[in-house]
Amino acid sequence: MNAANPPHGRTLASTEPLPIAALLALAMTGFICIATETLPAGLLPQIAADLRISTALAGQTVTAYALGSLLAAIPLTVATQGWRRRNVLLLTIAGFLVFNLVTAHSSSLWLTMVARFCVGAAAGLAWSLLAGYARRMVAVHQQGQAMAIAMVGTPIALALGVPLGTWLGKAVGWRNAFDVMSGLTVLLIVWVLVKVPDYPGQAGRERRSMGAVFRTPGVRPVLATVVLWMLGHNVLYTFIAPFVALAGLAGHVDVVLLTFGLAALGGIWLAGRMVDRRLRAAVLASLAIFALVALLFIVASHAPAAIYAGVAVWGVTFGGAATLLQTALADSAGTGADIALSMNVVAWNSAIAGAGALGGVLLDTWGAGAFPWAVLGLSIAGFGVAWSARAHGFPPGPRAH
């Protein structure tokens, strides 16, 4: 049995339309994951003043969330392999409901940090589940489109989450902003119960160990591509403010990020069009164009027009990354898709953490002008890994139906 065509899903010959309402429920779950992660970023002064801590310490609420995702994704995925899939999805959403409420009403720094860690753990489980769930709802030839729809919440949250959260915090206070997130999860629970189909978990005989999944041909090169691509992306994205300041855009970071987010939506649309027929070409083209954007930033880092143009193209290349990489990983892992996707959560979050450390060193040592050089090297390395994974990982031609 292959995870690309799991039991109780649709048959290969299915001509039914995509289950848009169910897929958008998964997209909403992804939106809440990202929005919950980034919500404190625009509210740090308020959080710090309310809890009587430094702004730097308040910023660790984001770190606690990332650590929860990083440490819990694999063990929680392994522990819930045999559970019915909708129950696991509802568990993750309930985690957001409970721990966002705790965050909203906590007066203790340590309780807040524990709540942020736990809500990060819920997100780690959610990310390991969403892609496989979307694939399971449709026939194999529809899986790329289904995943593109299920992932659309991510760039929307990246583009709008921080500014909306900041506006909401100023309007009603940071605690009420977290209450609003909890309210959204209540609506999502109802949405899932009404629209999202349920599927059985894996029987004991079907389950594979983490080691066996990791050794499956194709899994390691895809994960390596994830790390290199996301490391390059996040070095620039995390430190976008000091970089665009080189072009005199320090006061327009919000516009730059909005440009990126809107372009990323276009990237998701393109990925949905290409993933089932030309996945390898889409990955290679995205990495190659990302490298060209880095070159543009190297030679024209002081030109505002070049920055906006480069950010828009970069957004298009990044928008489809989650769809492309998770499809390649799930195809490679077969029946171990959920375990492999939990490894993807670890790889993705490790790249985010690594980018923070690498970017800090680059900024302190060589300044913001060093970021495009790092992006160039990492995107070329990612291209090389993906190019070499021709037999397994990123095979040419249409995905096997």
Token digits of residue 300: 């024209």
Q: How far is CA 343 from CA 44, 127, 217, 350, 354, in A?
A: 30, 10, 15, 10, 16
Quick one: CATH architecture of 210-388? Up-down Bundle (1.20)
Q: What is the pLDDT of residue 12?
A: 43
Distance (Å, whole) CA 264 – CA 249: 20
For CATH 1.20.1250.20, the residue range(s) in the chain are: 20-206, 210-388
d(C-alpha 92, C-alpha 165), whole Å: 21
Residue 272, pLDDT score: 83
Predicted local confidence at residue 391, as pLDDT: 93
Report whether CATH 3.30.1510.10 matches the domain 20-206: no
CA distance 129 to 282: 24
Residue 116's pLDDT is what? 95
Nearest to 232 by CA among 382, 385, 362: 382
Residues with pLDDT less than 50, the chain: 1-13
Report which of 266, 194, 269 is spatially closest to residue 21, judged by C-alpha positions: 194
The Cα–Cα gap between 377 and 358 comes to 13
pTM: 0.81
Spatial separation of the C-alpha atoms in residues 216 and 205, rounded to whole Å: 18
State pLDDT tens for residues 99-118. Answer: 999 999 999 999 999 999 99
The model's pLDDT over 16-71, given as tens digits with 9 standing for 90+, comes to 788 999 999 999 999 999 889 888 877 878 888 899 988 778 878 888 898 899 89
- What gap in Å lies between CA 155 and CA 319, rounded to an integer? 7
- Sign of the Cα torsion 229, 267, 132, 27 reads positive
Check residue 2 and give its pLDDT. Answer: 39
H/E run at residue 279: helix 279-299
Q: Which residues contact 83 (CB under 8 A, 6 or more apart)?
A: 201
What span, in angstroms and rounded, lies between the C-alpha atoms of 239 and 363? 9
Single out the residue of 95, 110, 77 nearest to residue 29, CA to CA. 95
